[in-house]
Homo-oligomer: A and B are copies of this chain.
């Protein structure tokens, strides 16, 4: 018997989630306050709690909505495609996500570094299953001699690490680099890395 959300509900819920993404990705869960989020969303704190029952609820809503977006690039990896192209393509899409959704990346980074207290079950659930499936595909390519014999799990980790690094450690990258666009150099480099390690 849940009623359909009104226009105002849609607008305010969206505003809160956007504000939450901004704040949580910058300060982590405990480092963020409801006042900050409310201010960023242009609402009063009680009004914010009219739409979400608690701080935790906003945070987990964000994380769960994000998980699918985050796994999409890996889902796309096609066992019937060209092995190198599929893997390089995945890495490429992941790098694009770091460029286009750095806040989302940092939100995840914050959560995982601190032990993933809110999404531990998703990690050993959906994520694990998906990785297992794709790792098997990669293993098959290796055995068929289409790519080098690399450990598929560590290959996937390396793609995560190499791409998310640019979003998660953005300040460090920018402190070291002169460029105002670190991704300009990151793209070709990532391409080189992936092709090199996959060459049979």
Is A158 an interface residue when CB atoms closer than 8 A count as contact? yes
Does any Cβ of B come within 8 Å of A186's Cβ? yes
A85 at the interface (CB under 8 A from B): no
A52 CB, min distance to chain B CBs, angstroms: 21
Contacts of A30 in B (CB 8 A): 27-28, 30-31
Q: Which of A146-180 contact B (CB under 8 A)?
A: 148, 150-151, 153-158, 160-162, 164-166, 168-169, 171-173, 175-177
Copy total for this chain? 2
- Chain B residue at minimum C-beta to C-beta distance from A128: B176
A161 touching B165, Cβ below 8 Å: yes
Question: A157 near B173 (CB under 8 angstroms)?
Answer: yes
26 contacts between A and B (CB under 8 A): A27-B114, A28-B31, A30-B31, A31-B114, A109-B109, A109-B113, A110-B113, A110-B114, A120-B175, A123-B172, A123-B175, A123-B176, A132-B176, A148-B192, A151-B185, A151-B188, A153-B176, A154-B189, A156-B176, A158-B165, A161-B162, A161-B165, A192-B197, A193-B197, A196-B199, A197-B197
- By Cβ-Cβ distance, the 6 closest A-B pairs, closest first, are A30-B31, A161-B165, A123-B175, A154-B189, A196-B196, A161-B161
